[in-house]
Amino acid sequence: MKILIIGNGFDLEHNLPTKYWDFMEFIKCYKNLEKHPKHELEKWPMFSNLNENVREYLFSDEVFTFSNHKDALKELDRLISQNVWIDYFSKKSGIENKGWIDFESEIADIIKCLEYYMNYNITMQENPSSQRRPDNEVLYQNAHSFLDNMKNTGVNHYEKFDTKKFHGDTAKVIIKELICDLNNLIRCLEIYLEDVVGKSEVEYKAKDIAEIENIDKVLSFNYTNTYQKIYGEVNDGIEYDYIHGKANIQRTSKENNMVLGIDEYLEDDERNNKLEFIRFKKYFQRIYKKTGCKYKNWVSEIEQNDNEKNEVFIFGHSLDVTDKDVLKELIMAPNTTTTIFYYNNDVYAQQIENLVKVIKQDKLIASVYGANPRIIFKQQQPKIGVEKLQ
């Protein structure tokens, strides 16, 4: 069995603007279309720095002229208006201007702060005479600032609540709104990936991927169907597992199955009892959105066929510990050799570091040495034009 595992680096290798940062830059530019004439916007660095395909999309008549908007764009217009998360990420990316932003990490930071803030407020409610200061001033202040920002922007009905009453029924209402806005953010991302990125012309292919023959399975951590669209015709009969869901513009935000959440951070009994923020967590979203786990069937098939040699190829994935359970099962499956492609030496070093967390140091050392190593690292070959493969 040959299994290909791909992460966002796979889409980036094909010059597709699929980073969260790319999405936020698109949203910020999109919001300015109605406010300024085209000839003026074309000179703005914000627009000139966009991916060429994204810029052409924004300046097309069907997008730039709002009266021409089709249903998906009308939906986008509505969903980006007064969205807490979009507002937060827009300000965050504007302040830091690093060229990247990690939605999941940022959401995790906010949720941890809000949970701490809520628990502190509950304690103060139960002991009104207490003068106890927060034992973690950073978490307290970050939560307070986030909630204050929601009030000041006048989003929905947030201006009506007292931040110090963020507990009980008030907290439930706010958390429900945050979940709703997260789902709307995910739907906006889905529209972007399908209507903007999905229409981008791909001029290059990854030589390493093109040279792998007879792939049986593809496990994608991406929302896009890039492999299926570019290489799938050559390899018919491939089984795909979109473990974080797959973008589909035909759906609504309620039907969307894309997972964009955070890892479990609570310990012991708390993870089973403190469930106020469970809907933000990946494991909940995977179950609720029914993304499935086809890869587990593949592992079972490998384990039942002792004599078959298996190959796993990993491209464009950082091997981050957040995907430990999935990666470990496939990399350590019996009779399996894993080839991990890396972009440059910095990525190579990071992948080694991450893989230690996934399979532990001793197993990694034992797997990369010897006459027949189980794990092989290979630097990516330069990408090639699509026409050279035809």
Q: Are 244 and 322 in contact (CB under 8 A)?
A: no
Q: Which two tokens stand for residue 120?
A: 């502190």
Determine the pLDDT at residue 126.
86
Confidence of residue 162 (pLDDT cuts 50, 70, 90): confident
Asked if residue 160 has pLDDT above 80, the reply is no
58-67, 86-95, 217-226: least confident range: 86-95
Asked if residue 278 has pLDDT above 50, the reply is yes
Q: Are 111 and 280 in contact (CB under 8 A)?
A: yes
Q: Residues 298-309: pLDDT tens digits?
A: 999 999 998 899
Mean of all residue pLDDT scores within the chain: 91
Determine the pLDDT at residue 155.
56
Q: Are 73 and 63 in contact (CB under 8 A)?
A: yes
To which residue do tokens 């510990």 refer?
A: 321
Range of 37-46, 72-81, 289-298, 333-342 with top mean pLDDT: 333-342
Asked if residue 73 has pLDDT above 80, the reply is yes
Q: Residues 258-272: pLDDT tens digits?
A: 999 999 999 989 999
Q: Residues 199-242: pLDDT tens digits?
A: 998 999 999 999 999 999 999 999 999 999 999 776 678 999 99
Q: Which residues contact 74 (CB under 8 A, 6 or more apart)?
A: none
Determine the pLDDT at residue 149.
86
Q: How many CA atoms lie within 13 A of 250 on its CB side?
A: 1
Confidence of residue 154 (pLDDT cuts 50, 70, 90): low
Determine the pLDDT at residue 390.
47
Beta-sheet pairing, 384-385 with 204-205: antiparallel
CATH number (3.40.50, 3.90.105, 1.25.40, 3.30.70) of 2-11+202-243+292-385 reads 3.40.50
Mean pLDDT in residue range 349-364? 97
Q: Are 264 and 283 in contact (CB under 8 A)?
A: yes
Q: What is the C-alpha to C-alpha distance for residues 141 and 53, in angstroms, rounded to an integer? A: 41
CA-derived radius of gyration, the chain: 23
How many CB atoms within 10 Å of residue 177?
Answer: 16
Mean pLDDT in residue range 320-329? 92
Asked if residue 129 has pLDDT above 80, the reply is no
Nearest alpha-carbon partner for 153 in 80, 87, 79: 87
Q: Are 329 and 355 in contact (CB under 8 A)?
A: no
Mean pLDDT in residue range 279-294? 93
114-118, 150-154, 260-264, 333-337: least confident range: 150-154
7-21, 257-271, 374-388: least confident range: 374-388
Determine the pLDDT at residue 156.
58
Determine the pLDDT at residue 97.
63
Domain ranges of the chain: 2-11+202-243+292-385, 17-94
Determine the pLDDT at residue 96.
65
Confidence of residue 389 (pLDDT cuts 50, 70, 90): very low
Per DSSP, 193 falls in state: I
Asked if residue 117 has pLDDT above 80, the reply is yes
Asked if residue 386 has pLDDT above 80, the reply is no
